[in-house]
Each structure stands twice: as structure tokens, then as C-alpha cells.
Chain A
Amino acid sequence: DADVTQTPRNRITKTGKRIMLECSQTKGHDRMYWYRQDPGLGLRLIYYSFDVKDINKGEISDGYSVSRQAQAKFSLSLESAIPNQTALYFCATSDWDETEAFFGQGTRLTVV
């Protein structure tokens, strides 16, 4: 089983719909991140959380919200999806010493 699991792996949704992307990890890490990847832009940070009670906005948080339900779970929500949120989304975790970030397999989201 993967250390970091994202569900769903692929999703097509309509403009205006609410959608949740889920992430769970078995690494026991406190720190979790959500990124989106767009061609030519690399990965951009949406939100990050350093423990269950800590939520922080990243570079591009507008239009997104998150929930840290437990140490192992970090969900990303699009309250009202729009086409320019079509992207590949990654969840990642890291330990306190940050010598490595572990990524999920990614969720390919298409908003039509």
C-alpha cells in the first residue's frame, strides 16, 4: 500500500459543483500539503498544515478550502469548481526535519 493515498485518482466534474479530494497517509507525519501542477508552472502550494489544529494558506488558496480531520487525513475542497481549476493535484507529507516530502499518486481533476 502507498504511504500517501489520494482519492479519487481521476475526476471530471461540472462547473459550479462542489468536490472534495481526499488524502490519507501512513507515514505518521504531522506536516501535510496540497499542491496543484499546471504545465510550465511546476507545483504550486495551495494549503499546508503542520498539525491537526494548524491550517495555512499557500500561494494559490483562493477558491479552495481544506480540512485536517486527523493527523493522517487532509482533504481539499473546491466549493464551486471552475474550469481553470482543471489540473493535477498532489498531496504530500513530510517529517519535522523536512529531509524528504512524500507525495501521493496525484488526482487529475477536469472541470467542464
Chain B
Amino acid sequence: AQKITQTQPGMFVQEKEAVTLDCTYDTSDQSYGLFWYKQPSSGEMIFLIYQGSYDEQNATEGRYSLNFQKARKSANLVISASQLGDSAMYFCAMRESGNFNKFYFGSGTKLNVKP
């Protein structure tokens, strides 16, 4: 079974609007971490936000927030007030504490922000 599922291969959003990128995960660990990374066309991986499984509040970092629904095993990324520079691939990732701390990545969502 896939550890991380991102069901949206591509998405469009109008500039200045908010957008939600979906991510669901599969783990039996009680302790795990969830991550979002941005990959612009230049190829580098840019860390955006982190949510620990024991964190009760949703993580926020500037315009990024992580909508963490533990019972549903979802960790959606919300980008508010989209900007043209947000156009990129976005990857959801998980680290399981019980599985030698390996990182698992989803297949990514390509976000295009329209002017």
C-alpha cells in the first residue's frame, strides 16, 4: 500500500485565491511527522511546513497552513492568497518513527497559478 497519496496530479488556481492540496497517508505508527515541500522548475526541494502527529494545533508558516485531520489520516496543504511564484510541484511526505525514520514521499501535485 502507498504510504502517501496525492490524488491531484495538477491544479490551477487564480492569483490571490486560496488553494488546498490534498494528501492522505497510511501508517500504523503513533509517532510520525508530516511535511510539505515545494519544487519549482529549477528543481530544488524547498521545505514549507511540518506537522508532528502529537501536535494538537495545525501548523502554520506564513501563507502556508497544514490542515491536519488525524482520524482521517489527511494532511492537506492550504496556500492562502496565491502568488505567481507559487507555481511549482508540491510534495507531501511522512516520516515514521517506528520504521527507521525513513521519509516517504507522494507523487506530487503540480500547481499552476493563473494571473
Contacts and interface: CB of A to CB of B under 8 A. Distances in A.
Contact of B35 (A31, A41, A56, A100): A100
Given A42-B4, A99-B50, A100-B50, A105 B44 contact: yes
Contacts of A42: 4, 6, 91, 105-108
Interface size class of B (residues with CB under 8 A): 20 to 34
Main secondary structure on A side of the interface with B = strand
A106 B45 contact: yes
Given A35-B105, A42-B106, A102 B47 contact: yes
Given A88-B43, A99-B33, A106-B45, A43 B91 contact: yes
B35 A101 contact: yes
Interface in A1-42: 31, 33, 35, 40-42
B102 A58 contact: yes
Given A45-B102, A100-B35, A103-B47, 6 more contacts: A40-B9, A98-B33, A98-B95, A98-B97, A105-B44, A106-B45
Interface of A: 31, 33, 35, 40-45, 48, 50, 56, 58, 88, 90, 92, 94, 98-103, 105-106, 108
